[in-house]
Structure 1
Amino acid sequence: MAVRFLAYEVADLCLGKPPLRSLSASATVADALAAVKSSDDNFISVWSCDHKRNLECVCVGKVCMVDIICYLCREENLGSPALALKSPVSVLLSKVKGLVRHVDPSSSLLEAIDLILQGAQNLVVPIKSNSRRKQLPKASSSPSITPTFHNGQEFCWLTQEDVIRFLLSSIGLFSPIPTLSIDTLGIITHKFMVVGYYSPASSAIPAISLSLLDQTSVAVVDERGVLIGEISPSTLGSCDETVAAAIMTLSTGELLAYIDCGGPPEEIVRAVNERLKEKNLQGVLEELVNNSGNTSSSDEELPSPTTPLSRPGWYSRSSSYSSRMVRRAEAIVCHPWSSLVAVMIQAIAHRVNYVWVIEDDSIVVGIVTFANMLEVFRENLESVI
């Protein structure tokens, strides 16, 4: 019975989670960029600490590569990326409060779900060292990223995906809800972010920022509303900062090819360079590379189809518990009649927080998110309290 889940605590979901790596709130955008590139996680936690006065350390937000890319895409920053990289990391932090919340390990699973449904994306949890969890070794630190070890305490964090995975592990307890269609359950969101295939990619920047905030994506459609692909934060998160130049010069369709996991076609790479010159921004790529620690400094050394993960435009992460696979720009889809459990498995398998909903003619009609799914489970748990 679902009542069994009422006994679970947040600590039960933290078993085996690696300790967070952290960035000081006094760091710069360049520090954040270096930290993201050296981390196995897509997001870096940002902390405010005052060890001199022995005050409590607080996680004040999180940053990722997409935050940096969208910041560099601002007109004033693209003209002077070196100066933009010297800005304080606070310019990258979302102004929306409550995205990151501290919780006690003894908090119930129900309380964690409620916080997520209230808007929390990451729950910061102290790591308890006990017989149920083996202490993990600390990763080596770098100048810009350090272990989150504050006042003798390490932390990890929980995400929507962690909670959904946990629920999926005992999905049979919620029968028959998981077998019902997403349409029957009424969890399809029909308002979503969309951009035209032939539109300038730069027109999608506001939508990209909102999709990062909502943990969704931006649908790329043709004139009939057929889903062609997507610009997702998870895919952009596998690119490096030089993709900002591509966003500012390419069409949306060209950008899909540029960020595809196979690497951008050479003709699109040339197009980026030519259009930068037309805008008198030919030095942008070199300035970005020189000021962000990349080894290459030539405009001609943009990503190539044969070396997609070792040149400017892409960067590599070592595989770990939390690292995402490099995804294609192709969207993950389901149908209104797809079952809840099938959609859950799809999202988890592709490491995304959502699945697009399309009709037989491939016209996109909505999106289903982890938050939508959690609402269903929360209602079921409410009925057994």
Structure 2
Amino acid sequence: MAVSLLAREISDLCLGKPALRPLSVSSTIGDALLALKTSDDHFISVWCCTHSSSSSTSSDDDDDVDARRCVGKISMVDIICFLCNEENLKSPSSALKSPITLLLKSSQGLVKHVDPHSSLLEVIDEIIGGTQNIVVPIKAENGRKLLNKPPSGPTHHHEGREYCWLTQEDIIRYLLSSIGLFSTIASLSVDSLNIIDDQILSVNYHSLASSTRDAIALSLVRQTSVAVVDDDGILIGEISPFTLSCCDESVAAAIATLSTGDLMSYIDCGGPPEEIGKLVKERLKERNLQGMRELEDFGSNNDSSSDDEALATNKKVAKFTRCNSYSSRMVRRAEAIVCHPKSSLVAVMIQAIAHRVNYVWVIEDDCSLVGIVTFCNILKVFREHLEFLG
């Protein structure tokens, strides 16, 4: 039964998925910023024309695969890390006019097109190999889109074709719905399954937040997070790309001027506390980085922003101000996204899905950090289990 489940076509998982909103590879970083602010998604897909007459991933119809291909994805975290560069901090408005291709280097190989008839097992192999987002055409054999309901608002076409993408979370959620078929491994502990990764990204609570930039960028690529620990290795909280993606670009100023502990407060409290906000402004002035204030006027001065886009942008900011961060919960020792080495595989899957993250920290009873369990390593367990059955 488990083997037959993973033989299912990947198109089965695309039901109800929204069509991707394309952004041209010729766009600027500022274009990407506005697109993110007017989107409900944390990532924007970037596309380019290929004009290829054949493709190994699109045998679903006889049309030339010359429309567009997704070549990467951009998040608010990419933009924040880019703006944290010293030269960009001095003139962020100029930095936002840079080509989007500067941000695509970190997402190369993370996005891949697949045939809608590919099996779930084939897709799991792609994810284990490093792919994060699986791009699937939303198109039936008769040429009509049947998998999804038409999206509200503007329809996002790619020269007559539409696509959605599947993530690690989608695959884990699907497996969790049929976890009974994997009863022999579901109740085993993450420790006994040997899926606790001790190669984690961590920073000290008292360190400069600017020292976390590279770790934040790497955690985005790994789809994990940056652990914040004290001098004794006790897990205090985290700097999560998921939390940062709910913020706006002005967080770059906080990263450049605050300590890691203050940065956690800045992004975790539904908006920066007044005293920390003042501290950021003072330190920007001391370092002659007042150009960062240009970012506050970026959206309002951009002529391409319509009233609808402005409204959506405001909603995006409001979404951040209401956000309950996982970091702040962990500071109070609430085990929102932490587990113990003896936690079962299924319990860890449920925790991660419930909190919309791709990982769960593993700690001992004294809150000392052991490692991390990721969706990718969980998928490896399911893959190995199927090989054993086969």
TM-score computed with the length of structure 1 as normaliser = 0.88
1:96: how far off? 5.5
Question: Among 204, 207, 210, which residue is 1:199 paired with?
Answer: 207
Distance 2:263 2:273 in 1: 11
In structure 2, the partner of 1:378 is 383
In structure 2, the partner of 1:37 is 37
**Matched residue of 2:130: which SS?**
coil
Distance 1:39 1:368 in 2: 29
> Given that residues 123 and 158 in structure 1 are in contact (C-alpha distance below 8 angstroms), is that contact kept between their aligned partners in structure 2?
yes
Distance 1:228 1:165, change over 3 A: same
> Given that residues 197 and 220 in structure 1 are in contact (C-alpha distance below 8 angstroms), is that contact kept between their aligned partners in structure 2?
yes
Map Cα deviations across residues 217-260 of structure 1 (whole Å, 9 max, x no partner). 00000000110100010000000000100110100000000001
> Given that residues 15 and 132 in structure 1 are in contact (C-alpha distance below 8 angstroms), is that contact kept between their aligned partners in structure 2?
no
* Residues 1:138 and 2:151 are matched in the alignment: yes
Distance 2:14 2:371 in 1: 32
> Given that residues 357 and 365 in structure 1 are in contact (C-alpha distance below 8 angstroms), is that contact kept between their aligned partners in structure 2?
yes
Distance 2:127 2:151 in 1: 28
In structure 2, the partner of 1:329 is 327
Distance 1:182 1:6 in 2: 22
In structure 2, the partner of 1:176 is 184
One-letter identity of the residue aligned with 1:23: L
> Given that residues 90 and 290 in structure 2 are in contact (C-alpha distance below 8 angstroms), is that contact kept between their aligned partners in structure 1?
no
Map Cα deviations across residues 168-213 of structure 1 (whole Å, 9 max, x no partner). 0000100120100000000000010000000010000000000000
In structure 2, the partner of 1:304 is none
Question: Among 296, 314, 317, which residue is 1:315 paired with?
Answer: 317
Percent identity over the alignment is: 62
Structure number with the higher helix fraction is 2
One-letter identity of the residue aligned with 1:65: M
1:289: how far off? 1.6
Give matches, 1:47-66, under 5 Å: 47-49=47-49, 55-66=66-77
In structure 1, the partner of 2:355 is 350
> Given that residues 38 and 317 in structure 1 are in contact (C-alpha distance below 8 angstroms), is that contact kept between their aligned partners in structure 2?
no
The count of residues paired between Structure 1 and Structure 2 equals 359
Map Cα deviations across residues 251-283 of structure 1 (whole Å, 9 max, x no partner). 000000000143221111111111111111123
**Matched residue of 2:217: which SS?**
helix
One-letter identity of the residue aligned with 2:219: S
1:132: how far off? 11
* Residues 1:103 and 2:114 are matched in the alignment: yes
Gaps of 5+ in 2: 54-63, 303-312, 331-336
1:135: how far off? 3.7
* Residues 1:283 and 2:291 are matched in the alignment: yes
Distance 1:339 1:293 in 2: 50
**Matched residue of 1:383: which SS?**
helix
1:310: how far off? 5.6
TM-score computed with the length of structure 2 as normaliser = 0.87
Question: Among 99, 103, 124, which residue is 2:135 paired with?
Answer: 124
One-letter identity of the residue aligned with 2:21: R
Gaps of 5+ in 1: 296-308, 319-323
Distance 1:159 1:283 in 2: 37
Distance 1:132 1:57 in 2: 17
